[in-house]
Structure formats: C-alpha cells, structure tokens
Chain A
Amino acid sequence: MSALLELSEVSVSIGRAALLERISLRLEPGHILGLVGESGSGKSLTAMAAMGLLPLIGGRVTGGTVRFDGQDIAAMTDGQRRALRGRRIGFVTQNPMTALDPVQRIGAQIDVVSRLHLGLSRQAARARTLDLLTQLRIPEAAAVAEAWPHQLSGGMKQRIVIAMALAGDPDLIVADEPTTALDVTVQAQIIQILGALVRERGLALLLITHDMGVVAQICDRVAVLYAGRLAEENAVDPIFAAPAHPYTRALIGCIPQEGMARGSLHGIPGAVPGALQFPPGCRFHPRCPQASALCRATVPPLTPHGAGIAACHHLSVEAR
C-alpha cells in the first residue's frame, strides 16, 4: 500500500539549533502511527514538519522531503499548503481550552471549516456539523452547537476540536497530545472515539503522545524519538513485547503497572539534552545502562530489526 504521509530523512533546524536529524516515517490510510518520546525529543516538531507548519515557529527543513499523497510539500505554493491543512489534514491540539475562539459559538466554528474547504452552503455546513457532533457521541448536538466554548467541559471541548479537524473531511489527522489535559475517564472516551474514526473512515492518524498506555491501546506502528533522532520504529506488538532500543525499553519501564512491587520503578537517569548540547555518538549514551566506548564515539546507524528499524550498537541479538 502506498503511504499517505511519508517523511524521508527529514532534518529541521531553528536558528543555529539542528533539532531533527534524518527522520523517516511512513503512515498509510487506515493506520495509526504513534510518535513517542520525552519532552524535547522532537515529537511536536516532527508533526509541524509533516504539516508544513515549520515557518510558523521559525523552523526550516534543511534536508529530506515530506510527501503527502505522493506530493512533495516543499514544492507546493503557500496557498496549496494552506488548502492541504484543514481540507486533507486535520489538526487536534493538546489544549482544547485555547484551541477554540471564546467569542464564537461552537457550531459556527465548526461550520466555517466545511464552508471554507468543502464549499458547502450555510445550511449544508450546519447539517454536517450536527452530524459530526452526533458521531462524536455528543448528546443534544443542536444545543451544543449554539453554546459558547466556556459553557463546555474540557472533554466536550476536545471533542469539538476533533469535530473541527474532521469537518474538512481530511485523510490525515495529526493529534498532538490530544488527551494530556483531560481526566482519565474522559481520555478513555476520546481515545476510543479517535480509534473508531480511523477504523470506520479509513483515516490515517499521527498520534503524538507521551503515554505508552495510549500507544499500546490504539496504535498500529510506533516511532520512538530521542533528542531529535529516530531511536526505533516498529509495529506496536514487537515494540512492547521485545523493544530493540534501550530507550524504548526504559520508557516502557517508567510506567507503573498493576502488581509491580514498590521500588521496581526507576525512571531514566538525567534528562533529554538541549539541542545545543547534544552529545557525540549515540545521543542516548549518557543515560543508557548499556553504553560502551563505541556508543560514545560513533552514531549508530538505523538498521532493519524485525519488521522495523532501530538505531543502536547493542540491539538485542535474537530479533536481528
């Protein structure tokens, strides 16, 4: 199957800081790709690059290509890129509290997306909005459409933001930590809804999250980023069952699980380095229990590993 979104060896800089280095990702229709890593690993920046939004934050692609449905987005005009976002790519942000315009009614904010991108009439747009709200299991959709953002709870607002992302009938949804600001019971609902959308509509979802539980629950493939580089990319089952990269292993080990004895949670020592202090060799080596002289000196290449790829000098041998 051909990829809907394909990043090949994309590098990104902001000012002097080289923040992403040769990131390659593929996302197919009907699939969910999870992008994981700690804060500062480059997850959000990768998403910005995928949507062609880097100029907004003063970033630029210094190498590689981003293709959407086979087209190089660097070769597009600004107008084409704008049409791409909203029409073919929907975006769901982390904070639903600030993603909505406080002085516009809910319905009007969703209507405008389909009127702009699908050219629908006022009435058709509203009908579509109500239909979307109902699909997102919002009770009394008509009443909610007439409400103001401040009248809604956080979980409800996030569903509205998802409705806005869907209103242009996109092929790809990019969701940046869509449930981080929400309570767990609400998070469960939203994740459920996102998963169902992908399966029912054949959408593709790029899901940025720090929550490995969410990744295990709905993702098909997982890309693990560390300090601007891809550490590992694989299907979800091997990522959790037999993580190849020590960083992936450490990330999973950070999550308290049922029946875990107290004292068995250790975290990852240290912190993600800033872009101007990236260490030489493997960037994870100062925090890695397996680091050797080779790791300190030489950048590990991305090598095939089972159904995926990983960049480590000490890949577990059995799966190679």
Chain B
Amino acid sequence: MTPPPLIRIEALTRRFETGGGFLKRPRTMMAVQDVSLSIARGEVVGVVGESGCGKSTLARLVLRLLEPTSGRVLLGDSELTALPPAALRAARKRMAMVFQDPYSSLDPRYSLAEVLAEPFVVQRRALPSGAVAAMLAAVGLPETLATSHPHQLSGGQRQRVGIARALALEPEFLVLDEPTASLDVSIQAQIIDLLADLRDRLGLTYLFISHDLGLVRYFCDRIVVMYLGAVVEVLPHADAAPRHPYTRALIDSGFAPDPARRRTIAPLTGEIPSPFALPPGCAFAGRCPRATDRCRTDRPALGGDAAHPVACFHPH
C-alpha cells in the first residue's frame, strides 16, 4: 500500500488582472492553469520551464504566499488553501521556502543570528540556546559568522543562510525556487550537494523549481514540465524519454560539456505567445514541429499513461 502523499495540489489556477484604469480595459493573465500534482513524503519533485511559464507563481501558490483563483493545496490532512490566518501561520512551521536571489532575501539590517532567530520570533517560540550555531553548522557555515551582516558574505554563503533559515523550525516540506540560478556553477554544485545531504539526513520533501533541465534531471525524482502556465508533461524519472515536443526541445537546447557531442540544433521557430492572449489550442502549437490543425483549435489535456502523463495530441 502506498502511503498518502504529503502534498496534494488539485486543479490549482491563478489569474492576474492587470492594467485596468482610465480608458483601459483590464487584461487577464493566466499565470497557472489547472495544475494538479501529488508529492510523496521524501520525494524531490522538479518543476522546469522557461521564464513566464508560471513555475514561480506555482511555488507561491503551493505555500499560499499567493491566493489561488481556484483549486486546493493540501499539506497532509490540512487544506492550506482553506485555513484561517491563525491556523495558516501555525502551518507555516511545517513548510518553508528558499528563494532565488540570495542578495535580496536577507534583510540587510539583520545579523545572521537575527536572520536565524526570526522564524522563532515570528512563531513566538523560544530560541533554544546554541540553536544559531547549530543551524549555521548544519549548512556548513562557521559559528563566527553569527554576528556578520549579509553584505559581508558571498552569494553562496548567503544562500546557505537562506537554507538554514528555511530549516529553522524543522519543516517537512521545502519549496526551492531556483536556489542556484544566481550562483556560479561551482557554488551551485555545493548548494545542490548540501540540499541532497539535508534531504537524506532530515527526511525532507522538496518541490524544486528551476529553468535548468539538466540540473533538475540530476537532482529530482520526478519532473513536471510547464509551458505558459500549464503542465505539459510529467517525467516519472530523470532518464524517462520525453514524449512532449516541448520537453524534447528543452533537452535538445542544452549543451553537453563534451565537444565530441557537438550537434546542430534545430532551433525552435516562432515566438512564445503572450500569456494575456493564449491561443485556443495547444499553447506550444506555434513553435511545434509536429503541430497539426487540431493542435491549433483544441487544447490537449494532460493524460495518457498515469505514470507518465503528457498533454499532446502527437506525443513522441
């Protein structure tokens, strides 16, 4: 019997209204469209896609840092999207987020000790003695940094502090929003190594948001591919052969660090449609080499094999 999932996302949708004003009609942007996903305890699920695909909005919806237009998110038995403010605040102990920009995610006026004490202050819990040193040690930082301020740290060190802060209240679930996107590859590898180690030691569950399919394939158990707000494919494991033409294009766009594997790339043609005016059919049809008339008029639903669903009329 499989245990119940830790996170259940059901038909999550978020629209943004913008631009309403004098002589202007408000426009609706479909940021996240009907996303459903379950994450088992201990699993690392990757969400990959290009800028504007809605992956960061999804991250915020899952932690209810943004309110969904419709749909539900459940953490264990509690329905996050229905919790009243006080209960939601209490539930925040169980989940946390690591942000992309390690430079702006720490208050410049706070010392590291203050940054790491903040979760306790916010949750009105006493800070155990020695906790700051222990938190710093857990992410590989020396205790002597406790009195430093963020501007005295390197990007990699700051991101370690961001991870330590996320872990302060011993959550079960972490959303990692491009935690290495603004770091050098050498530092990225350190951080990924640390995250993998923490997961093993603390039994954490991750939702890992990234634009880098190579990185996601290295780090994640299951991979959700998003395009313009919607899930187009869920790869059941890192080495699964991609079935959606967009996933295939993403993989083909990456270059292996091996001159022996040089290749000509058939670049995608066409521009990405505006999220304010999605076409009636498949959002990828305009750039897809396999598109037919049906793709331009009907929207394919995510379906097929339950273990490896794909939203395409002509999958590979």
> Is there a contact between chains A and B in the complex with CB atoms less than 8 Å apart?
yes
Q: List residues of A whose CB falls within 8 A of some B CB.
A: 38-39, 137, 153-154, 156, 183-189, 191-192, 210-218, 236-237, 240-241, 250-260, 262-263, 265-269, 271
Q: Which residues of B contact A211 (CB under 8 A)?
A: 185, 255
Give Cα distance in the complex from A259 to B154, angstroms. 31
Asked if B250 and A256 make an inter-chain contact with CB atoms under 8 angstroms apart, the answer reads: no
B188 interface residue (CB < 8 Å to A): yes
Task: Say which residue of A214, A216, A254, A257 sits within 8 Å of B188 (CB atoms).
Answer: A254
B17 interface residue (CB < 8 Å to A): no
Known: A183-B50, A192-B267. A215 touches B257 (CB 8 A): yes
**Chain B at the A interface: mostly helix, strand, loop or mixed?**
helix
Known: A255-B185, A256-B217. A266 touches B193 (CB 8 A): yes
Q: In this complex, which of B190, B196, B219, B255 has the most chain A Cβ atoms within 10 angstroms of its Cβ?
A: B255
B265 to chain A, nearest CB (A): 5
B156 nearest in chain A by CB position: A271
Give Cα distance in the complex from A216 to B214, angstroms. 15
B215 interface residue (CB < 8 Å to A): yes
Task: Say which residue of B211, B261, B267 sits within 8 Å of A183 (CB atoms).
Answer: B211
Q: Which 4 residue pairs of A and B lie closest in terms of their CB atoms, listed nearest first?
A: A267-B189, A213-B255, A256-B218, A267-B190
Asked if B264 and A250 make an inter-chain contact with CB atoms under 8 angstroms apart, the answer reads: no
Give Cα distance in the complex from A178 to B11, angstroms. 38
Q: Which residues of B contact A188 (CB under 8 A)?
A: 252-253, 255, 265, 267
Known: A211-B255, A255-B214, A256-B219. A192 touches B186 (CB 8 A): no
A42 to chain B, nearest CB (A): 14
B212 nearest in chain A by CB position: A184
B49 nearest in chain A by CB position: A183
Asked if B256 and A257 make an inter-chain contact with CB atoms under 8 angstroms apart, the answer reads: yes
B34 interface residue (CB < 8 Å to A): no
Asked if B190 and A213 make an inter-chain contact with CB atoms under 8 angstroms apart, the answer reads: no
A295 to chain B, nearest CB (A): 19
Give Cα distance in the complex from A251 to B196, angstroms. 20
Asked if B257 and A216 make an inter-chain contact with CB atoms under 8 angstroms apart, the answer reads: yes
Q: Which residues of A contact B24 (CB under 8 A)?
A: none
Asked if B186 and A184 make an inter-chain contact with CB atoms under 8 angstroms apart, the answer reads: no
B195 to chain A, nearest CB (A): 11
Q: Which residues of A contact B258 (CB under 8 A)?
A: 216, 240
B51 nearest in chain A by CB position: A183
B263 nearest in chain A by CB position: A217
B77 interface residue (CB < 8 Å to A): no
A236 to chain B, nearest CB (A): 5
B183 nearest in chain A by CB position: A39
Known: A153-B272, A183-B50. A240 touches B259 (CB 8 A): yes
Asked if B219 and A210 make an inter-chain contact with CB atoms under 8 angstroms apart, the answer reads: no
Asked if B257 and A185 make an inter-chain contact with CB atoms under 8 angstroms apart, the answer reads: no
A191 to chain B, nearest CB (A): 7
Task: Say which residue of B156, B189, B196, B271 sits within 8 Å of A262 (CB atoms).
Answer: B196
Q: Which residues of A contact B253 (CB under 8 A)?
A: 184-185, 187-188
Give Cα distance in the complex from A257 to B212, angstroms. 11
Q: In this complex, which of B184, B193, B271 has the most chain A Cβ atoms within 10 angstroms of its Cβ?
A: B184
Asked if A265 and B189 make an inter-chain contact with CB atoms under 8 angstroms apart, the answer reads: yes
Task: Say which residue of A137, A185, A237 sits within 8 Å of B50 (CB atoms).
Answer: A185
Q: Which residues of B contact A252 (CB under 8 A)?
A: 257
B221 to chain A, nearest CB (A): 9
Q: Which residues of A contact B190 (CB under 8 A)?
A: 266-269
Asked if B154 and A257 make an inter-chain contact with CB atoms under 8 angstroms apart, the answer reads: no
Asked if A214 and B186 make an inter-chain contact with CB atoms under 8 angstroms apart, the answer reads: no
Give Cα distance in the complex from A183 to B268, angstroms. 12
Asked if B255 and A214 make an inter-chain contact with CB atoms under 8 angstroms apart, the answer reads: yes
Give Cα distance in the complex from A212 to B192, angstroms. 18
Give Cα distance in the complex from A91 to B263, angstroms. 26
Known: A216-B259, A257-B257. A250 touches B186 (CB 8 A): yes
Asked if A189 and B255 make an inter-chain contact with CB atoms under 8 angstroms apart, the answer reads: no
Give Cα distance in the complex from A204 to B153, angstroms. 38
Q: Which residues of A contact B214 (CB under 8 A)?
A: 213, 255-258
Asked if B257 and A255 make an inter-chain contact with CB atoms under 8 angstroms apart, the answer reads: yes
Give Cα distance in the complex from A256 to B215, angstroms. 6
Task: Say which residue of B186, B254, B260, B267 sits within 8 Å of A189 (CB atoms).
Answer: B267
- Tell me the B273-308 residues at the A interface (CB within 8 Å): none
- Tell me the B215-271 residues at the A interface (CB within 8 Å): 215, 217-219, 239, 249-250, 252-262, 264-265, 267-268, 271
B211 to chain A, nearest CB (A): 7
Q: Which residues of A contact B7 (CB under 8 A)?
A: none
B310 interface residue (CB < 8 Å to A): no
Q: Which residues of B contact A269 (CB under 8 A)?
A: 190
Q: In this complex, which of A252, A260, A262 has the most chain B Cβ atoms within 10 angstroms of its Cβ?
A: A262
Asked if A237 and B259 make an inter-chain contact with CB atoms under 8 angstroms apart, the answer reads: yes
Q: Which residues of B contact A189 (CB under 8 A)?
A: 265, 267-268
Task: Say which residue of A185, A213, A268 sits within 8 Å of B256 (CB atoms).
Answer: A213
